[in-house]
Amino acid sequence: NAGVTQTPKFRVLKTGQSMTLLCAQDMNHEYMYWYRQDPGMGLRLIHYSVGEGTTAKGEVPDGYNVSRLKKQNFLLGLESAAPSQTSVYFCASTLSSSNQPQHFGDGTRLSIL
Amino acid sequence: AQSVTQLDSQVPVFEEAPVELRCNYSSSVSVYLFWYVQYPNQGLQLLLKYLSGSTLVKGINGFEAEFNKSQTSFHLRKPSVHISDTAEYFCAVIPSGSARQLTFGSGTQLTVLP
């Protein structure tokens, strides 16, 4: 049982380039999330999805887009990468109840030059 | 909206000593509380959670936490730490009626010294 899998694990981009981060979960979870982690700031929610075909903005959505075409996948896109988006990105998933913990992937380290 | 404050960004402690990592939260609604641990170059793993009932909750790896509603705190403790406990620890809260917004604290780096 793989849990939550993120690809790629590392990526270096130049300013203005675009890319997509993929998150896949095999636990049949309804809710999926994208966070960014920066030193001293904990994890901040970028976007989330409460089910296939739905997405919503989190705390820091600017510069990112997401899609949830299949229940098991949640994609995070950067249309025009900026140095401020250098971060570690984590995907998480959970059942639909708030008393259930979120399950996290191992993260994607993204550097924008 | 909720907020979480972890009062110590860095906690160094010697092996086999006790440790307490502090967490305070603010919320206008009832919440569930979680502690997560992050080992280097890994994602977050659940240590323990408080939903209701007994205010003392036990988690994995010998950790426990106590929920104090009047002080809005959820401090994490371990009576005797090991080198392998070196990691970053995050406190998080979520409204009890919604799975949509888990709010994290800024994290506490626990370093266990030999």
- B67-90: pLDDT as tens digits: 999 999 999 999 999 999 999 999
CB A29 within 8 Å of CB A23: no
What pLDDT, on a 0 to 100 scale, did the predictor assign at position A1? Answer: 59
As a dihedral over the C-alpha atoms of residue A24, residue A30, residue A31, residue A34, rounded to 10 degrees, the angle is: 10
Is any Cβ of chain B less than 8 angstroms from the Cβ of A45? yes
What pLDDT, in 10s, does the model give residues B2-56? 899 999 999 999 999 999 999 999 998 888 999 999 998 888 999 999 998 889 9
- Which stretches of chain B sit within 8 Å of chain A by CB? 4, 9, 32, 34, 36, 41-46, 49, 51, 90, 94-102, 104-107
* Separation in Å, CA A74 to CA A26, A30, A36, A81, B16: 12, 11, 15, 19, 42
Q: Which residue of chain B has the CA closest to A33?
A: B100
What pLDDT, on a 0 to 100 scale, did the predictor assign at position A41? Answer: 84
Q: How far B9 CA lies from chain A's nearest CA (Å)? A: 8
CB B34 within 8 Å of CB B94: yes
Predicted confidence pLDDT, tens digits, chain A (113 residues): 579 999 999 999 999 999 999 999 999 999 999 999 998 888 999 999 999 999 999 999 999 999 999 999 999 999 999 999 999 999 999 987 777 888 999 999 999 99
CA end-to-end span of chain A, whole Å?
36
Confidence of residue B1 (pLDDT cuts 50, 70, 90): confident
What pLDDT, on a 0 to 100 scale, did the predictor assign at position A99? Answer: 77
